[in-house]
Structure 1
Amino acid sequence: MNLQLHHGDCLEILPALDAGSHDVVVTSPPYNLGINYRTYKDTTARADFLEWCKEWAAQVKRVLTDEGSFFLNVGAAPSNPLFPHQVLLALTDELFVLQNTFHWIKSITIETRAGETISAGHFKPINSKRFVNDCHEYVFHLTKAGQVPLNRRAAGVPYQDKSNIARWGHTGGIDKRCRGNTWFIPYETIVSRDKQRPHPATFPVALVEQCLRLHGMGEATRLLDPFLGIGSSAVAAKRSGIRQFSGIELDEHYLEVARDRLNELI
């Protein structure tokens, strides 16, 4: 795999990348919610922040192929629920088309057919008389024209009722259906946050792998993450055996952690 990790500001590095040089972008930018990053100050005025988002997103569009997919992970604070939608509106005003909206479910409680209540996943509890615990984030699937074909079955799940395989002609006799737009992808259980996840806002490797499967190019994929953090997307790229990965990270320490995680896979 051609692996390129860049240390610096994405607004300085993205312009140096060739136009149309990447097939998929998966990233999660700073949320402008006062998160305590090591280097980046996450407290910009909202209007300025949205303008900044449009600047780097314009570069993402330039380096993305016409049939490329841009998967944008954005979360919110309970007291600031409109933030993800404000970012989305800023990026779809002139730059991108929203093709799909996925809900990344971090924790969920369900009742089984046997009547048993099961809770799974991890979330950060809040102590509030106004808000409930926030157990999900958005993954917006943005494309240049809203017409990118996807491999829905590659990112799918087996049928719960196997009789549906024969009943519905579109299955082709294959025991796998479209997963839909709710993705339950919990964080891996860790012992030490400082040692195993030394970053205040990460997504799981499995989230990136799901995006890669859905886009459907397999090993030929050229993936970019302009806000690399501690390298979850780079780890996903390596585990998926794709052709090329490019990552950009402003904080040198986070970039070093990303390199260490990649070295552990060798």
Structure 2
Amino acid sequence: MTSLYYRDHNMELHVGDALEVMATLPTASVDCVVTSPPYWGLRDYGTAHWIGGNPHCRHSLGTTPHQRRTVKKTGTGRGRSDSAKHCRRCGAISQDQQYGLEPTIEEYVRRLREVSAEVERLLTPGGTFWLNLRDGYSYHNSGTGSTRTTTVDDSPKVVRHKSLLGLPWRVALDLQHDGWIIRNAVVWHKPNGIPDPASDRFSSRYEVVFLLVKQPDYYFDISRVLAPLSPNRPASRKSRRGGTKPYTVKSPWNPHSLGKNPGDVWSISTRPLPEAHCAPFPLDLPWRCVTAGCPDNGRVLDPFSGAGTTGLAARKLGRFYQGIDLRADYHEIFLRRLADHTAGTACDRSEVA
């Protein structure tokens, strides 16, 4: 069964598992990948298929993804778990390909490594891979437990209750071990972040966007994303040589005449999208990634496309777009958003596969 959901001369949309769909795409066919995989343990996107049980039941695995990962304790204190997920109401078995509900941190990281390996195959030699990840905290609904993890020798370890997990860097360092070059760990600062009820720590106000590449020589055009220079900066500071003190830099400093490097802290406000899931990143973020990291007329891929914000950025910049998601209705949201961004011109639905 084909995964193709929609195609025209500007884009392709696929429905299915990211890994399975990418395996059907040709090698070295993508110039830029910008994506934000589902965060671990944050939400259930309702993509499960159910086997057995009561066909009229409104199946549920529990109240929250965190509770579904709870490791129950036996009398000996050793953890026990069932690899099959069952409906708490009728016992039906859940089969689900979505990312983010893995029972352990290692399983989540392993799956992202598999996806990244396919990204490496699909990218051109000079391609760029922009990976947005959010951190989280070890959680147990009893307030006394820990999130299970393992060490290299498979001995059980735990991340203690309430501890920050360090998920973005767990993934990034494993990808570095796989051969990726980490060029940047951009801090996406969210000035209007969601209110945090925590009273025993500071609120989380940022996520991380990693810029990963396959080789030292890759496509990157900083001139397209320069930040404006301060109008109050004196001429002597706009172009000057190093100071006269010992050990200072003596070479001349000639900044870009049109602006300055925006740096690796991006303050970009979130923008809610009521008709979609509650986690789309703002258009400005993928726009900056695609602008700097994808050549003109290049091809952009998002293997976790969701409501298609990366697609909007790619199309506004004239790049070909390929999006993959488990839910076809998210592609419909993207097509409506794209029509709104193109002066109300509707997409030709006759080309839907």
Shorter-chain TM band: 0.7 to 0.9
Equivalent position SS for 1:134:
coil
Q: Which amino acid aligns with 1:60?
A: V
Equivalent position SS for 2:225:
coil
On the 8 A contact 1:185/1:206 being kept in 2, the answer is yes
Which of 132, 135, 155 is the equivalent residue of 1:73? 132
Q: Which amino acid aligns with 2:217?
A: Q
Equivalent position SS for 2:218:
coil
On the 8 A contact 2:240/2:253 being kept in 1, the answer is no
The count of aligned residue pairs is: 245
In structure 1, runs of 5+ residues without a counterpart are: 108-121
Equivalent position SS for 1:98:
strand
2:259 is aligned to: 176
Which of 25, 32, 38 is the equivalent residue of 2:33? 25
The aligned runs of 1:193-212 (5 Å cut-off) are 193-195=273-275, 198-212=276-290
CA distance in 2, matches of 1:72, 1:13: 18
Is residue 257 from structure 1 mapped to residue 333 from structure 2 by the alignment? yes
Inter-CA distance 146–37: structure 2 relative to 1 (3 Å threshold): farther
Equivalent position SS for 1:186:
coil
On the 8 A contact 2:30/2:299 being kept in 1, the answer is yes
On the 8 A contact 1:25/1:224 being kept in 2, the answer is yes
Cα-to-partner distance string for 1:207-227 (whole Å, 9 max, x where unaligned): 01101222252x322100000
RMSD over equivalenced CA pairs, Å? 2.0
Inter-CA distance 129–69: structure 2 relative to 1 (3 Å threshold): same
Identical residues among aligned pairs (%) = 29
2:240 is aligned to: 167
Equivalent position SS for 2:300:
strand
Structure number with the higher helix fraction is: 1
Which of 34, 39, 46 is the equivalent residue of 2:105? 46
Q: Which amino acid aligns with 2:266?
A: W
CA distance in 1, matches of 2:186, 2:306: 22
On the 8 A contact 2:34/2:131 being kept in 1, the answer is yes
2:213 is aligned to: 143
Q: Return 13-22 or 146-155, whichever deviates more.
A: 146-155
Deviation, 1:239, is: 1.2
CA distance in 2, matches of 1:173, 1:22: 30
Q: Which amino acid aligns with 1:156?
A: L
Q: What TM-score comes out, normalization by structure 2 length?
A: 0.65
CA distance in 2, matches of 1:173, 1:75: 33
Equivalent position SS for 1:220:
coil
Is residue 7 from structure 1 mapped to residue 15 from structure 2 by the alignment? yes
CA distance in 1, matches of 2:305, 2:330: 8
2:184 is aligned to: 100
Deviation, 1:102, is: 0.8
Is residue 235 from structure 1 mapped to residue 312 from structure 2 by the alignment? yes
The aligned runs of 1:103-118 (5 Å cut-off) are 103-107=187-191
In structure 2, runs of 5+ residues without a counterpart are: 1-8, 48-97, 138-161, 242-251, 343-353
Equivalent position SS for 1:194:
coil
Give the number of the structure with larger relative contact order, counting CA–CA contacts within 8 Å between residues 6 or more apart: 1
